[in-house]
Amino acid sequence: MSLTRKQEIIITASRLFKERGYNAISMRDLAAEMGIKAASLYNHISSKQEILGLIILKVSEEFTQHINTIYLDELSSIKKLEAIIQNHIEITLKYTHHLACMNNDWIHLEDEYKQRYLNLRNEYESKFRQILQQGKDEGELKDIDLEIVVFSVLTTLRTLHIWYAKKTSIQVATLQQDLPKTLLYGIVKS
């Protein structure tokens, strides 16, 4: 299936924003990169802000929809955490540029876009915290301060796309196997 012109705009913009930052890119730059006239961009999209909003909300919604589904599944909390880590790896591979935009430029979202992004982010963190609490309550997870675990695991997952962009020598299969080990089961032999 070929991409719509709107999808092409978003993909090109996410790469340009990633390389030079949201503020440095004009609609004119974007049009030039696509080999079209700036005016014709506006047949598909209303503003640069709308593009940024679509890029960031796309990945935010994928993360939050996934955790909402997992949260309700009949799985142990450990299986849920494993699924969450695999989802982060998958989105990292699929939406590298989108994640870089989210990381660097979410602060430039305005009004409703920013509010929607922050709501999705809070919802994600809240579900993540509840899954950890479930694991502690059911005796699957150790009695470790919840906020320390949230910080440590989410920091690693949220930074994954930056690190992985520089480490392409590591096989995806290795990442899928060793990242959950590192984050959930520890690096020390028992």
**Signed CA dihedral, 152, 153, 155, 156: sign only:** positive
What tokens were used for 6? 């709107």
Residues of span 169-188 touching a copy of itself by CB under 8 A:
170, 174-175, 178-179, 181-188
190 binds a copy of itself (CB under 8 A): yes
Alpha-carbon gap, residue 10 to 106, rounded angstroms: 15
- Answer for which of 148, 161, 165, 172 binds a copy of itself (CB under 8 A) is 148
Which residues touch 46 (CB under 8 Å, ≥6 apart)? none
Please return the burial class of 91, using the count of CB atoms within 10 Å of its CB with bins 0-12, 13-18 and 19+. buried
46: which DSSP letter? Answer: S
- Answer for which of 145, 161, 168, 172 binds a copy of itself (CB under 8 A) is 145
What tokens were used for 181? 């080990």
- Answer for which of 142, 161, 168, 172 binds a copy of itself (CB under 8 A) is 142
**Based on CB atoms, which residue is closest to a copy of itself, 27 or 184?**
184
42 binds a copy of itself (CB under 8 A): no
Residues 95, 31 contacting (CB under 8 angstroms) = no
**Signed CA dihedral, 55, 37, 5, 91: sign only:** negative
**Based on CB atoms, which residue is closest to a copy of itself, 25 or 179?**
179
| Count of residues of this chain found to bind a copy of itself when the rule CB under 8 A is applied | 35
Query: Please, what is the minimum distance in Å from the beta carbon of residue 157 to a copy of itself?
Result: 9
CB atoms within 10 A of CB 32: 12
**Based on CB atoms, which residue is closest to a copy of itself, 1 or 187?**
187
**Based on CB atoms, which residue is closest to a copy of itself, 101 or 175?**
175
- Answer for which of 78, 114, 116, 125 binds a copy of itself (CB under 8 A) is 78
139 binds a copy of itself (CB under 8 A): yes
List the end-to-end C-alpha distance of the chain, in Å, as a whole number.
Answer: 50
**Residues at the contact surface with a copy of itself, assessed by CB under 8 A:** 78, 132, 135, 139-142, 144-145, 147-149, 151-153, 155-156, 159, 163, 167, 170, 174-175, 178-179, 181-190
